[in-house]
Amino acid sequence: MTIIREDFREILRLVRPSSRVLDVGCGEGALLDLLAHEKQIDGRGLELSASGVAACMARGLSVVQGDADQDLDHFPDRSFDYAVLSQTLQATRNPRHVLNELLRIAERAIVSFPNFGHWRVRWSLLSRGRMPETKALPLPWWSTPNIHLCTLADFMALIEDLDLRVDACAAFAGQGAARPIDPTKAVENWRAESCLFMLSRNGGPAIGEPSPGSGDLFDG
C-alpha cells in the first residue's frame, strides 16, 4: 500500500462522500485520485505546471492549467462543496483574495500552510540571524516560492478579519499523524509545524465538530 500523506489523510477524513471538490495546486492529482477512490467525489483540479496537468489528464482527472491568483475568479459561486489549497497559500500573490475566492467558489475551504511561528523557525532566526531553513521550510530565501509566510496567529487574525469560521483545525509535525488543535491557544503557535484548517463563512451551514480521534467524520 502506498503511503498517504498525513495532511491528505486528514482531508480524506474531513470531506463528505460524493461531494464536489476543487483542488487548487493539485500537482499530479494524488489527492484528487485518493478522494475519488475513497469518497467518490466529483473532483476538479487547478495546477500551474504543465507536467502536473498532463499527469492528471493521463490519469483521467479534470484538471485545468492555471494558478490560484488568476484563475479562481472564473469559477462560478458555490460550484463546489470544498476547495482545497494545500501548502500553497503562502506562495500566492494575494492570499487574502485567494482565501476569499475559495469561499466564494466553495462552501468550505480546506487550507494548509507552514506555521512561521513554530519554535524551530523562531529558534533558527534567533540563533543564526538568518532566514529559517527547517524541515517544513527547506529552501533558502532566494529560491523559496513562499512569498507570504505567516504564523498561526497571523492566520487567525486574517480569518477574524474576513469573518470566517473554523470548522476544523489540525497540526502536523514531520511524518506524525494529525493532531486536532484549538488554534486560538497561544501555545499552538509554538508547537504546530504545519496547520490545516477547514473554514466556512460565518452564517453558513454548520457541521458537527470533528471528533478528537482520527475516525472518519462521515462514517456512520
Partner 1 sequence: MAALDLITPAGGGTWRFPENEPLRLDSGAVLEGLEIGYQTYGELNADKSNAILICHALTGDQFVASPHPTTGKPGWWLRMIGPGKPLDPQKHFIICSNVIGGCMGSTGPASINPATGKAYGLSFPVITIADMVRAQAMLVKALGIETLFAVIGGSMGGMQAQQWAVDYPERLFSAVILASASRHSAQNIAFHEVGRQAIMADPDWRGGAYADHGVQPGKGLAVARMAAHITYLSEPALQRKFGRELKRDGLSWGFDADFQVESYLRHQGASFVDRFDANSYLYITRATDYFDIADAHGGVLAKAFTRARNVRFCVLSFTSDWLYPTAESRHLVRALTAAGAKAAFVEIESDKGHDAFLLDEPVMDSALAGFLSSAERDRGLA
**Interface positions with partner 1 (CB under 8 A):** 44, 50, 53-54, 56-66, 71, 74-76, 79
Q: Which amino acid is at 199?
A: L
Nearer to partner 1, 26 or 150 (CB): 26
Nearer to partner 1, 43 or 183 (CB): 43
Grid cell 477574524 is found at 160
What is the closest distance, in whole angstroms, from the C-beta atom of residue 35 to partner 1 in the complex?
Answer: 15
What is the closest distance, in whole angstroms, from the C-beta atom of residue 204 to partner 1 in the complex?
Answer: 20
Nearer to partner 1, 58 or 126 (CB): 58
**From residue 81, how far is each of 1, 22, 206 by CA, in Å?**
29, 8, 13
What is the closest distance, in whole angstroms, from the C-beta atom of residue 54 to partner 1 in the complex?
Answer: 5
What CA–CA distance (Å, rounded) separates 145 from 147? 6
Nearer to partner 1, 109 or 152 (CB): 109
Which ranges of 106-209 would DSSP assign to H, the alpha helix? 119-128, 152-161, 188-191
What is the closest distance, in whole angstroms, from the C-beta atom of residue 50 to partner 1 in the complex?
Answer: 6
Determine contact, residues 152/188, Cβ cutoff 8 Å: yes
Nearer to partner 1, 12 or 53 (CB): 53
What is the closest distance, in whole angstroms, from the C-beta atom of residue 68 to partner 1 in the complex?
Answer: 14
Nearer to partner 1, 7 or 28 (CB): 28
Closest CA to 106 of 71, 63, 77, 85: 77
Which ranges of 129-209 would DSSP assign to H, the alpha helix? 152-161, 188-191
Cell representation of residue 81? 462543496
Cβ partners under 8 Å of residue 137, min gap 6: 114, 116, 121, 144, 146, 149
What is the closest distance, in whole angstroms, from the C-beta atom of residue 104 to partner 1 in the complex?
Answer: 13
Determine contact, residues 146/136, Cβ cutoff 8 Å: no
Which of the 8 DSSP states describes residue 198?
E
Cell representation of residue 40? 467518490
Nearer to partner 1, 62 or 211 (CB): 62
What CA–CA distance (Å, rounded) separates 153 from 159? 10
What is the closest distance, in whole angstroms, from the C-beta atom of residue 60 to partner 1 in the complex?
Answer: 3
